Amino acid sequence: MHKVCYLDHNWISFKLNNDNVKKHLNDMTGVVYDLGCGIRPYEKDILTVADEYVGVDWNYSLHGLHADIEADLNHPLPIEKHVADVVISFQVLEHLCEPQVVLMEAFRILKPGGVIFISVPFQWWIHEAPHDYYRFTCYGLKYLFAKAGFVDIEVKESSGFWTMWLLKLNYQTCKLIRGPKLVRWLIRACLLPLWMTNQLIAPVIDLIWNAPQETAGYTVTARKPASASSQRISIP
């Protein structure tokens, strides 16, 4: 799992990702392909239930290349069809200028009946510029997955309004940390109680004060039809 440092301004975002993986971990069996694997933070956890983990990423990743297969996810993948039981991709789709391509390729490399798990940001700051192209609504995600041929598509919010909003506040306050090293250290020390407190209470407030359709991101689960002859859904 991602290491969670509770002194960081954004530790809850890593916890949300970890919780998402834990929730679906028992379904990540067989051969798992991680598209946009980055530093492979979930590999060890996945291999507790899976037979094989294959990381796929491109050579220009800001995290360095840690992939088993080097590939640009905006183009057809150098992977045979029907080889994966599970495809995962976490916080990657927004960085692809051709997101439909990777979903169609995921459909192709999955075995019939195989499943896909992805997560994407929704209300989030621009990051890893200039390769940050999209923010997807739940309706846009359903459209893209259905167009690729997936069925049983389920889109869930990864957080509520307060977690999203307070995270954005924390990112904004990070901009206050500037000046000489000692000054930066003092400003950070003053901000730490704010960061710690709001990230602890935000999920609690989300439970009490629900705000539908306000979220930091979404998690999508879907399935490739069991029939090998199934065709992609045509959407006008």
Beta strands in 36-78 (DSSP E): 52-57, 69-70
Compute the average pLDDT of residues 21-42: 96
Residue 35 is encoded by which pair of tokens? 């598209």
- The strands making up 110-121's β-sheet, listed across from edge to edge, are 69-70, 52-57, 31-35, 84-90, 110-121, 217-223, 151-157
**pTM over cut 0.85:** yes
Dump pLDDT digits (tens) for 145-184: 999 999 999 999 999 999 999 999 999 999 999 999 999 9
Write down all domains in the chain, each with its CATH number in brackets: 11-161+211-223 (3.40.50.150)
Sign of CA dihedral 161, 164, 170, 173: negative
Residue 186, helix vs strand vs coil:
helix
Residue 14 has phi, psi (to 5 degrees) of -70, -35
